[in-house]
A and B are shown apart, each in its own frame.
Chain A
């Protein structure tokens, strides 16, 4: 766990250096609008105010110290504290991703287990093929197609955003409205993970079903159903937890496209916009936060994995192929 500290530092350093090399720094700081090129004196003054002429290391340390106090600065675009903006948008993105993950788990795990139990059957093979195809289908293309079908052509679901009702509307209808707005983005975000998780579950449960331990249990007379759910399934749980930790970066990255298509005001969309506008404080904060979340996710996963099965080495493997 202590090894996470240098990784944390490394995250901040890499992020900072990454943004150092972005061109267009001064223009962005001058908040140049169309046709409004700042004068040389203005640019020089900006360089002074933001210490742009100081060596990189000095600026990095200043920023790092502020970061430790969680002073993320203010957005260059609207001067609001990044903290606030971050809190609000992170909540929205996390809500979206957690829902997507839950949906994926809720469907994938039982499906995968059942398929493993009936391995080789028609249902199993059909399911495998379906999951294959689903996994390969690009998320943002699916989002476009679904948005066009459900929101535009059939008008069954709202097109974009978080809510369509003012805050004065009754709680229940607002809840329903929010749920309606969540359907499309969550589904689009979830189906890729769903496909992968289903196959993953199936593979692991199947492996468990063929393991020595389960053979022995079968010999002792324990029923097939019990074997599947209480033994093989538990076997699959452990690698699943590792996987979840690795899904975090995949979901955060995938959010960008989905959030843009559905105008969901979350971290992903904010990241992309801020990057385009060179809103440095926001980009720095978001990059660090997503990296931190990813780190936390994988640490947590490794932690559970370790206590569940101390024999196993921590290694890379499957989950890297997701992100």
Chain B
């Protein structure tokens, strides 16, 4: 696959995933996009966003959009494309196969699968991005310092990196997650982030070592640049492409890790939609409702694919050696 094709394919997939993630409260919600209440218009679906309270309808009592019939003087003008919330249980519609009302079927509590898959995007991308951010911050710092510092400091830091790398990721992540005194999304992100920084650190360290020999570094040093300035103003920008590559791979891996942990039951809390969680539920049925297995797997697969394609695309387009092989 040529670099531009990887880049384009990955880019479009990633863009789509990002779009779904950001628009999730509008795409799948029991609150309508546009409604009329008491004579005025309101946008209840926007309440799904933080700070969206202003968009609620001005009525005497809060509106329960699932109630049938709706309260007086309240009517839906435009409902969300998927008019079901991810947590909306419905004991009358348990384990339905994909059909006209529920396009991807329902799960064991009657929750709409499409809605849950859609709302899985922001969770996955958020966890992936935040965890990668943590890994990047720690890893780049460690790698940069190790590359530039004296031999002894470098040695200790390298030992630390090797040390952390010795622990298989899932094992480390499970232990860290179990250790959290306040289990939740935050500790999950921290756990995943803390397991992956060593790879980034090692890579950045070798980048720094490589670039150290280049002439511009000496010039910058001669001009009086201290080490932090060196890292931030010179080394980082020059390593941007490889960093992007690593980051993209990292996001994909973090998402996989989160799904695996949610599958085992130690990932996101039960209230949050997660593809791994849906799969865990699917496995508990003997002949899994195939819609519970297929669709979250696809979503997971496409998202990870997007990350990999992006990473490879960037790598192939910036590394002159590899582009010949494409």
Enumerate chain A interface residues (CB-CB to B < 8 A).
Answer: 3, 6-7, 10-11, 14, 18-19, 21-23, 119, 125, 128-129, 132-133, 135-138, 140-142, 144-145, 148, 152-153, 203, 206-207, 210, 249-250, 252-254, 256-257, 260-261, 271-272, 275-276, 283, 286-287, 290-292, 294-295, 298, 313, 315-317, 320-321, 323
Contacts and interface: CB of A to CB of B under 8 A. Distances in A.
Interface in B286-326: 286-288, 290, 293-294, 296-297, 300-301, 304-305, 308-309, 321-322, 324-325
Contact of A18 (B155, B175, B308, B322): B175
Given A6-B159, A287-B167, A321-B246, A207 B321 contact: yes
Nearest to B174: A275
Contacts of B160: 10
A249 B166 contact: yes
A140 B263 contact: yes
Contacts of B203: 315-317, 320
A142 B309 CA distance: 20
Contacts of A137: 297, 301, 304
B305 A136 contact: yes
B169 interface: yes
Contacts of B239: none
A279 to B, nearest CB: 12
A213 B70 CA distance: 78
B171 A141 contact: no
A294 B293 contact: no
16 contacts: A132-B1, A138-B297, A140-B263, A141-B296, A144-B283, A152-B286, A153-B287, A250-B169, A275-B174, A275-B178, A290-B168, A313-B209, A316-B201, A320-B198, A321-B199, A323-B165
Q: Among the interface residues A19, A23, A136, which one has the most CB atoms of the partner chain B within 10 A?
A: A136
Contact of B288 (A142, A148, A313): A148
B119 interface: no
A7 B283 contact: no
Given A132-B308, A256-B171, A11 B259 contact: no
A249 B169 contact: yes
Contacts of A153: 287
Nearest to B287: A152
Given A132-B305, A257-B263, A290-B171, A315 B206 contact: yes
A133 to B, nearest CB: 7
A18 B179 contact: yes
B110 interface: no
A24 B168 CA distance: 24
B67 interface: no
B98 interface: no
Given A144-B297, A287-B175, 16 more contacts: A14-B167, A23-B181, A129-B1, A136-B304, A145-B293, A148-B288, A207-B321, A253-B171, A254-B170, A276-B178, A283-B175, A298-B166, A315-B203, A317-B206, A320-B202, A321-B250
Given A10-B159, A23-B181, A257-B264, A145 B297 contact: yes
Given A18-B175, A316-B205, A253 B168 contact: yes
A148 to B, nearest CB: 6
B202 A138 contact: no
B163 interface: yes
A295 B166 contact: yes
B256 interface: yes
Interface residues of B, number: 61
Contacts of A22: 175, 178-179
B199 to A, nearest CB: 3
B178 A257 contact: no
Nearest to B183: A23
B252 interface: yes
Given A141-B300, A203-B325, A317-B203, A253 B169 contact: yes
Nearest to A22: B179
B33 interface: no
B301 A141 contact: yes
Contacts of B304: 136-138
Interface string B167-191: 1111100111011010000000000
A136 B306 CA distance: 9
A323 B283 contact: no
Contacts of B288: 144, 148
Given A138-B300, A323-B169, A316 B175 contact: no
A10 B163 contact: yes
Given A133-B305, A138-B256, A138-B304, A294 B168 contact: yes
B1 A323 contact: no
Contact of B167 (A135, A249, A256): A249
Contacts of A321: 199, 246, 249-250, 253
Nearest to B200: A320
A64 to B, nearest CB: 16
Interface in B127-181: 155, 159-171, 174-176, 178-179, 181
